[in-house]
């Protein structure tokens, strides 16, 4: 009973994308809509304050995700993209900025910045984007990011962890897909912020 429903979802998603959708670096029209992410809500975050300064390093990602296109992933995995829609910047840049804002919003760190900000860094938060997409199977917004905290003074890894969240999209429209990814990202960013505070 579940297989026909999954196939229908796949047809619906691919129908929204258009036959074959877009491929990275190959588009017929410039995006007409740009999307970003919200910073995670960390008002109720538990944890101690720390007088250290943290650098949020540029996230690593496969080329399929190192782009401004909004990804849809079918079995394989096979990557396609929503037409005429894009992230406000490349996905790694968007994720990096929102991670920085989330950590800043905790109010628990002496300083949080990006490369070039001129901070005297105590720790680095290094990340790799493993998934940030609408997955056709289950019609879910999936975000998975691996992270590690590194002592900037001696280069030693303090801790590593993989964060993952999935949110039903409700429909295959780009608005609903981004909303689901944003909800998943909020959970990942909030959990990563709490984990970072415990390890610096």
- The reply to whether 172 falls in a domain is yes
The reply to whether 78 falls in a domain is no
184 lies in some domain: yes
Please tell me whether residue 13 adopts helix, strand or coil conformation.
helix
- Whether the per-residue pLDDT at 7 is higher than 80: the answer is no
Mean pLDDT to the nearest integer, 32-40: 93
Query: Would you state the pLDDT for residue 28?
Result: 52
Give φ, ψ of 69 to 5 degrees: -70, 150
Give the model's pLDDT for residue 46. 66
In a domain, 22, yes or no: no
Question: Residue 30 has what pLDDT?
Answer: 86
Number of domains in the chain: 1
Range(s) of the domain holding residue 181: 43-67+89-198
The mean per-residue pLDDT over the stretch 146-154 comes to 98
pLDDT for the residue 43: 84
β partners of residue 131: 144
For residue 100, the domain's CATH number is: 3.40.50.10610
- What is d(CA 11, CA 9) in angstroms, rounded to the nearest whole number? 5
Q: Is residue 20 part of a domain?
A: no
- Mean pLDDT rounded to a whole number for the chain: 88
For the stretch 47-82, pLDDT in tens is: 678 899 999 999 999 999 999 999 999 988 999 999
Provide the pairing of β-strand 50-56 with 109-113. parallel
In a domain, residue 108? The reply is: yes
Q: How far is CA 172 from CA 3, 10, 33, 179, in A?
A: 17, 9, 16, 11
């Amino acid at each position: 009973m579940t297989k026909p429903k999954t196939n229908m979802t796949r047809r619906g998603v691919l129908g929204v994308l258009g036959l074959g959708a877009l491929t990275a670096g190959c588009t017929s029209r410039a995006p007409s809509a740009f999307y970003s992410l919200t910073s995670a809500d960390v008002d109720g975050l538990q944890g101690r304050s720390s007088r250290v300064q943290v650098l949020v390093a540029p996230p690593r990602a496969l080329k399929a995700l190192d782009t401004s296109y909004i990804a849809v992933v079918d079995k394989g995995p096979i990557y396609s993209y929503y037409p005429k829609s894009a992230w406000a910047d490349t996905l790694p840049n968007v994720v990096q900025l929102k991670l920085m804002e989330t950590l800043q919003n905790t109010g628990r760190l002496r300083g949080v910045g990006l490369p070039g900000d001129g901070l005297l860094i105590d720790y680095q938060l290094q990340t790799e984007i493993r998934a940030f997409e609408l997955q056709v199977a289950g019609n879910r917004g999936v975000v998975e990011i691996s992270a590690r905290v590194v002592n900037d003074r001696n280069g030693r890894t303090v801790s590593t962890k993989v964060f993952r969240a999935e949110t039903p999209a409700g429909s295959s429209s780009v608005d609903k897909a981004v909303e689901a990814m944003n909800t998943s990202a909020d959970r990942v960013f909030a959990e990563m912020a709490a984990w970072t505070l415990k390890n610096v």
